[in-house]
């Protein structure tokens, strides 16, 4: 299964169940799917992010839009998951909620650029590709009820 297919599967699951997967993993799916747009940089994640800010932010906004993540939901997630009080939403959004997705891309292209996007993702998140179905696990009726496109 390609990462764009997995992302779409996660989106279909969300539309049916209302459950959102880890947002960093969702971002990593999008970024690794386009890993050839990025060059390996020997630098901090902050410098890497600043270098590719426009592309990374575009993908963060896609995750937020696709999964209907409000500022309130993301703030609550950050505060509960990391036990911090959000003081600068834009900064905390990047460095707490989405950081692992950025790090996964940076680490992958820096040290493992010879691998496919799927190998990088499933290696980083230690997920078993075989547990994901070839086709959607939802019936056409369920998808139609949630206005999902297959």
The 10s digit of each residue's pLDDT in 122-137 is 888 876 656 655 555 5
Lowest mean pLDDT among 19-28, 92-101, 139-148: 139-148
Task: Kindly tell me if the per-residue pLDDT of 149 is higher than 90.
Answer: no
In this structure, are residues 33 and 118 in contact, taking their beta carbons and an 8 Å threshold?
Answer: no
Task: Kindly tell me if the per-residue pLDDT of 92 is higher than 80.
Answer: yes
pLDDT 10s digits, 34-81: 998 998 888 888 899 999 999 999 999 999 999 999 999 999 999 998
Q: What is the pLDDT of residue 75?
A: 95
**Alpha-carbon Rg for the chain in angstroms:** 16
**Other CB atoms within 10 Å distance of the CB of residue 47:** 12
**Other CB atoms within 10 Å distance of the CB of residue 62:** 14
């Amino acid at each position: 299964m390609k990462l764009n297919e997995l992302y779409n599967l996660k989106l279909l699951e969300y539309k049916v169940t209302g459950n959102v997967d880890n947002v960093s993993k969702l971002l990593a799916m999008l970024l690794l799917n386009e890993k050839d747009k990025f060059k390996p940089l020997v630098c901090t994640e902050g410098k890497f992010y600043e270098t590719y800010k426009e592309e990374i932010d575009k993908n963060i906004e896609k995750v937020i839009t696709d999964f209907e993540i409000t500022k309130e939901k993301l703030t609550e997630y950050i505060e509960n998951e990391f036990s911090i009080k959000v003081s600068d939403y834009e900064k905390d959004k990047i460095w707490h909620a989405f950081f692992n997705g950025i790090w996964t891309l940076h680490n992958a292209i820096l040290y493992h650029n010879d691998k496919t996007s799927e190998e990088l993702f499933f290696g980083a998140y230690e997920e078993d590709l075989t547990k994901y179905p070839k086709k959607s696990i939802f019936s056409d009726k369920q998808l139609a009820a949630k206005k999902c496109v297959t």
